Structure 1
């Protein structure tokens, strides 16, 4: 099932998501989230973006990488993730968000992270991620904390996107996917 994407301005995007009870069967939801993400041509999707305030996100970072890239992308679900550490050289990269279409901005994030999470079979994992995969994880993790990439913007950059954000919250935006507006 393809869910509509929640647009900027919906309060769920600014709330901290709730932990999922361990062992809960969410495999169908995970499959639906992958389908929704792919339908919208995204590389990541957090549960709050489909109006579910739970600590779950899916990513497929392979779509961001060139064929000759040394980095290997991953396609994975993350349940109740916790960032244990972020480290390495911070680097800037232009980010966007399915909930904030037509807005992009360069955001600086650390190049590596260590994450503890459950996989879709409820196996507890601890892994290190780096490069663009780490960036996608950091972006989606922020959604679970009620943080949007535009929250990192300051001064003039923030003022420059303000009118676009107002338009998005009013449904004055075109996308190739269904959205729900506040």
Structure 2
């Protein structure tokens, strides 16, 4: 049975540290971590999770977009491990969109991100991918990549007026529907 990992919260020093590159993708410990990250994200209703969020300093994150209670309009995709990811190109301007974080409980923010990005990464088998992502999935990738660089979404806010409690965010969604 795959373990649900403890998600560290804002204030934990690893969230402000630059993660180390993954050297040995085939290491069974790393493969087990990938499975545990996928399971942890799903259990926590996350659409992504980075290794530093579970106190592991690796340049690794999972993108697992799917509709859930935290992101009801998220597109469906298979959970994807991105190892040693790098954004190699950005397209279009930045647009603001809602973000929350499993490591910053109770808050949502309107965060500017590039709408379309090109990312190079290795998958869990070590195969190199170069792929273009847009909209919500591009937002997830930029958010998770920030975790690998010691940043959280709060660092990207243009103003504290773009920060809302989870309750305020839910009220805004209710009024919009």
Q: TM-score, normalising length from structure 1?
A: 0.80
Match of 2:135 in 1: 131
Tell me, yes or no, if structure 1 residue 18 matches structure 2 residue 20: yes
SS in 2 for 1:6: coil
2:169 paired residue number: none
138, 145, 151: which is aligned to 1:147?
A: 151
- CA drift at 1:65: 6.7
Picking from 1, 4, 13, the partner of 1:2 is 4
CA positional deviation for 1:150: 0.1
Structure 1, residues 135-156: CA drift from partner, whole Å, max 9, x if none?
0000000000111100122454
Structure with greater contact order relative to length (CA < 8 Å, sep ≥ 6): 1
Q: How many residues align?
A: 158
Q: 1:155 to 1:139 in 2, by over 3 A?
A: closer
Give unpaired runs (5+ residues) of structure 2.
166-177
Looking at structure 2, the residues matched to 82 and 56 of structure 1 have their Cα atoms a distance apart, in angstroms, of 11
Deviates more, 1:11-20 or 1:82-91: 82-91
Match of 2:168 in 1: none
- Counterpart of 2:93 in 1: which secondary structure? coil
Give me the TM-score of the superposition, normalised by structure 2: 0.82
Superposed CA RMSD = 2.1
Q: Structure 2: how far apart are the matches of 1:62 and 1:54?
A: 24
Determine if the alignment matches structure 1 residue 36 to structure 2 residue 40: yes
Q: Which residue of 1 aligns with 2:112?
A: 108
Separation of aligned partners in 1, 2:109 and 2:49: 18
Tell me if structure 2 keeps the 8 A contact 1:91–1:109: yes
Contact 1:94 1:104 in 2 (8 A): yes
